[in-house]
């Protein structure tokens, strides 16, 4: 049996709805793998960046630049740069910036949600189309062994329903887990945005007076410094 005959046999069992489900499955797998890798490395690099900035707050700007490709760090960096210029509501700033930095991920999650919604419908459509073909065959068949024809036809028809549910359930679970991860990133951006704003203000207050104080190199100035 040639490859073309195998493809024809598979198509005869699943029909156009089954082919559409296979294409949706490939797209769903691609989106799940892509976003899992992206969110994994985002979380890993974010933890590294937060640990480094907590230990060396004076190097915060350099560390922000080093981890600029991380979307959560990018959000916090933008908050530190623009907070107070347009709004003092940090949560509103983070919500806007979060949409900008995670726009592709949110688009992918929307596609996964659509796949989870339409996959069972396509499966049901494929089953109904298959059953209609079975009953049409029975109507024109002169064979007395109708039970065999009906059993074989129904078995082939319900394949698309099984395919639809098999696709919808993982897509729904993956989309839900990814949204939980994004929610965690959103809360972390707000929390560390407040924290690093306070840290940045403390560093400026501690360095500012020292830089602003003029040096007194006179003899009296050196005596005052020695007495102090």
- Of 43-57, 65-79, 201-215, the poorest mean pLDDT is in 201-215
Contact 136, 34 (CB under 8 A): no
User: CA of 124: how far to CAs of 18, 106, 164, in Å?
Assistant: 10, 28, 8
Select, from the ranges 46-50, 64-68, 151-155, the one with the highest average predicted confidence (pLDDT). Answer: 46-50
Contacts of 209 (CB under 8 A, 6+ apart): none
> Is the model's pLDDT at 34 over the cut of 50?
yes
Instruction: Say what percent of the chain tops pLDDT 70.
Output: 79
- Reduced to 3 states (helix: H, G, I; strand: E, B; else coil), residue 143 is coil
Q: Where are the domains of the chain?
A: 15-204
> Is the model's pLDDT at 224 over the cut of 50?
no
Please report which confidence band the pLDDT of residue 145 belongs to, taking 50, 70 and 90 as the band edges. Answer: low
């Amino acid at each position: 049996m040639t490859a073309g005959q195998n493809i024809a046999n598979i198509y005869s069992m699943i029909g156009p709805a089954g082919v559409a489900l296979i294409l949706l499955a490939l797209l769903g797998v691609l989106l799940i793998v892509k976003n899992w890798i992206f969110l994994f490395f985002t979380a890993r690099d974010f933890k590294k960046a937060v640990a480094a900035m907590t230990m060396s707050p004076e190097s915060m700007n350099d560390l922000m630049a080093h981890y600029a490709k991380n979307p959560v760090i990018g959000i916090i960096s933008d908050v530190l740069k623009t907070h107070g210029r347009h709004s003092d509501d940090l949560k509103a700033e983070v919500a806007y910036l979060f949409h900008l930095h995670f726009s592709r991920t949110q688009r992918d999650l929307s596609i996964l949600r659509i796949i989870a919604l339409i996959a069972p419908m396509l499966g049901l459509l494929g089953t109904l189309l298959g059953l209609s073909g079975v009953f049409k065959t029975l109507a024109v068949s002169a064979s007395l062994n109708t039970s065999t024809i009906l059993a074989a036809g129904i078995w082939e028809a319900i394949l698309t329903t099984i395919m639809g549910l098999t696709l919808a359930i993982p897509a729904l679970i993956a989309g839900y887990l990814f949204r939980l991860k994004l929610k965690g990133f959103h809360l972390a951006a707000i929390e560390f945005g407040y924290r690093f704003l306070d840290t940045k203000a403390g560093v400026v207050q501690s360095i500012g007076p020292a830089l602003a104080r003029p040096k007194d190199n006179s003899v009296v100035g050196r005596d005052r410094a020695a007495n102090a």
